[in-house]
């Protein structure tokens, strides 16, 4: 007691209400106040350090306080911190849009900005519905989603999500999406390949589209990885089948790459692995390498044209957020894209991803590890009871891993029973080895008794 950490914790707990937290936990689970970051490391006020293995909620790509991104933001700060984006424009937002259009598949030609992932998903949902309305099909009001999906915390996005922990309480307030069983390969039978399982599971989607396409605006998915529900993963073939079926049934496809975009799955965008293009692509998180809040929805000329008309037709998309296209955030995004352009990030990640797999491989033998799964730079380990059943959620085994990791200079933040790594791309092989050791120790402790 009496340390700089404890003094700030005390002040914090008097005035803050933390996100995604039962505040009573902090009676026994200390907050970790951070003074500064550098590379993969976070330093607290007492000088302890923590390896940010989860990229601070999956946003950080190139480490904390990256000199180049810092400098770009500083330079921009001297020019323009913010300006309204309705009626006005600025260089960073124009250049960023040009580069995003260039980096994404050809049909995606238009960028609409928001300031967080949830609001980007809301934009995609609204635009899709509004597109059909502008085309004389106002009955297309529904959305199809996958079980276990997560698209944000606002009422609109909870409506198309399916993680009970976040959704259940608010159900009476939410629109009702059609929820189709996910191609999640954790659920496959022994001996069945990811591809065979994901392909097989598509029949549920086909049936839903068959029955509901006439009243459905869009299908929304997290391509290749359903992160928030516990890093569940599936094969790209599902996206190919989905793209073909959406076209055949006249339904939009919304790709929410907010968590999986910008190299997380092994390609710049996850959809590349299926060689498909969505009608709406939602990006955020890694877009600014974890620096500033920014999100974007990319869409097609076809969608844009459905809104382009004389003002009095009232077909315009009248949606706005105050900080839309903030110049500092756009500059952070431009610096991020420079880093992808100027070095072979994806190639280096391939080596790091292989190393992550090797480093945790011995854990596959652990009696309480049901599965180790990986897609690119996302690696997850599923803790379970020795008889294969999940640990009851009340036992909060993941928190024990979290607590242990903090004593060993690592920030691991399991999702329920799922311990995962989603590190910044500047992590070294030695640091990965350390994480694997800490995870193994933590899992051993957490699964005892």
Q: Which of 209, 227, 246, 435 binds ligand PMP (CB under 6 A)?
A: 227
Min separation Cβ 20 and ligand PMP, Å: 10
Regarding 234 and contact with ligand PMP (CB under 6 A), the answer is no
- When CB distances to ligand PMP are compared, the closest residue is 117
Phi, psi at 427, each rounded to 5°: -65, 150
- What gap in Å lies between CA 156 and CA 141, rounded to an integer? 13
Largest pairwise CA distance in the chain: 69
Q: What is the CA radius of gyration of the chain?
A: 22
Regarding 62 and contact with ligand PMP (CB under 6 A), the answer is no
Regarding 259 and contact with ligand PMP (CB under 6 A), the answer is yes
User: Judged by CB under 6 A, which stretch of 71-79, 113-121, 208-216, 231-239 contacts ligand PMP?
Assistant: 113-121
Q: Which of 42, 100, 121, 160 binds ligand PMP (CB under 6 A)?
A: 121
Q: CB within 8 A of 123, min separation 6: which ones? A: 112, 114, 282, 297, 319
User: Are residues 258 and 288 in contact, defined by beta-carbon separation less than 8 angstroms?
Assistant: no
CB-nearer residue toward ligand PMP: 85 or 227: 227
Regarding 284 and contact with ligand PMP (CB under 6 A), the answer is yes
Q: Which of 162, 184, 222, 382 binds ligand PMP (CB under 6 A)?
A: 222
- Number of shown-chain residues binding ligand PMP (CB under 6 A): 14
User: Judged by CB under 6 A, which stretch of 146-154, 185-193, 236-244, 438-446 contacts ligand PMP?
Assistant: 146-154
Min separation Cβ 272 and ligand PMP, Å: 17
Site mask for ligand PMP (CB under 6 A), range 147-186, x = bound: ---xxx----------------------------------
State which of positions 18-57 bind ligand PMP (CB under 6 A): none
User: Are residues 395 and 431 in contact, defined by beta-carbon separation less than 8 angstroms?
Assistant: no
Regarding 269 and contact with ligand PMP (CB under 6 A), the answer is no
Q: Which of 97, 104, 118, 134 binds ligand PMP (CB under 6 A)?
A: 118
Q: Which two tokens stand for residue 100?
A: 């995003």
- What gap in Å lies between CA 273 and CA 265, rounded to an integer? 9
Q: Which of 37, 117, 148, 325 binds ligand PMP (CB under 6 A)?
A: 117
State which of positions 339-378 bind ligand PMP (CB under 6 A): none
Q: Which two tokens stand for residue 205?
A: 């989607």
Half-sphere exposure for 261 (CA within 13 Å, toward CB): 26
User: Judged by CB under 6 A, which stretch of 42-50, 112-120, 212-220, 409-417 contacts ligand PMP?
Assistant: 112-120
Q: CB within 8 A of 222, min separation 6: which ones? A: 146, 149, 150, 151, 256, 257, 259, 260
Which of 197, 288, 261 has its CA nearest to residue 422? 261
Min separation Cβ 259 and ligand PMP, Å: 3
SS3 29: coil
Count of beta carbons in the 10 Å neighbourhood of residue 391: 17
- What gap in Å lies between CA 446 and CA 425, rounded to an integer? 28
Regarding 116 and contact with ligand PMP (CB under 6 A), the answer is yes
- What gap in Å lies between CA 256 and CA 223, rounded to an integer? 7
Which of 179, 115, 130 has its CA nearest to residue 150? 179
CB-nearer residue toward ligand PMP: 154 or 403: 154
Q: Which residues bind ligand PMP (CB under 6 A)?
A: 116-118, 121, 150-152, 222, 227-228, 256, 258-259, 284
């Amino acid at each position: 007691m009496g340390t700089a950490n404890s003094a700030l914790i005390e002040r914090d707990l008097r005035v803050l209400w933390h996100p995604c937290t039962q505040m009573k936990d902090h009676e026994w689970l200390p907050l970790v106040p951070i003074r500064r970051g550098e590379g993969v490391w976070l330093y607290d006020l007492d000088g302890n350090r923590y390896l940010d293995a989860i990229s601070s909620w999956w946003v950080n790509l190139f480490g904390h306080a990256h000199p180049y991104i810092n400098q770009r933001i500083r330079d921009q700060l001297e020019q323009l911190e913010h300006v309204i984006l309705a009626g006005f424009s600025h260089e960073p937002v124009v250049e960023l849009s040009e580069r995003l259009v260039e980096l994404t598949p050809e049909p995606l030609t238009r960028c609409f900005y928001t300031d967080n992932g949830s609001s980007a998903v809301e934009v995609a949902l609204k635009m899709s519905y509004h597109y059909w309305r502008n085309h004389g099909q106002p009955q297309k009001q529904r959305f199809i989603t996958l079980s276990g999906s997560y698209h944000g915390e606002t009422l609109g996005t909870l409506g198309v999500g399916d993680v009970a922990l976040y959704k259940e309480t608010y159900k009476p307030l939410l629109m009702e999406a059609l929820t189709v069983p996910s191609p999640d390969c954790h659920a496959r039978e022994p001996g069945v390949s990811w591809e065979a399982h994901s392909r097989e599971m598509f029949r549920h989607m086909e049936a839903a589209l068959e029955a509901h396409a006439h009243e459905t605006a869009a299908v929304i998915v997290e391509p290749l990885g359903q992160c928030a529900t516990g890093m569940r993963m599936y094969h790209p073939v599902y996206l190919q089948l989905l793209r073909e079926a959406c076209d055949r049934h006249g339904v939009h496809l919304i790709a929410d790459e907010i968590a999986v975009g910008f190299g997380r799955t092994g390609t710049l965008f996850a959809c590349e692995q299926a060689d498909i293009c969505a009608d709406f692509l939602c990006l955020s998180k890694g877009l600014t390498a974890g620096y500033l809040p920014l999100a974007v929805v990319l869409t097609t000329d076809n969608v844009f044209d459905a809104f382009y008309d004389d003002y009095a037709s009232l077909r315009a998309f009248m949606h706005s957020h105050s900080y839309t296209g903030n110049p500092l955030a756009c500059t952070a995004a431009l610096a991020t894209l420079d880093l992808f352009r100027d070095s072979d990030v994806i190639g280096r990640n391939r080596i790091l991803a292989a190393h992550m797999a090797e480093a945790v491989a011995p854990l596959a033998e652990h009696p309480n590890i049901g599965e180790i799964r990986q897609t690119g730079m996302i690696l997850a380990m599923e803790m379970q009871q020795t008889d294969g059943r999940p640990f009851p959620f009340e036992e909060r085994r993941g928190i024990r891993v979290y607590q242990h990791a903090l004593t060993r200079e690592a920030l691991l933040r399991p999702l329920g029973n799922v311990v995962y790594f989603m590190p910044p791309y500047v992590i070294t092989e030695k640091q990965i080895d350390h994480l694997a050791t800490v995870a193994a120790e933590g899992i051993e402790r957490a699964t005892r008794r």
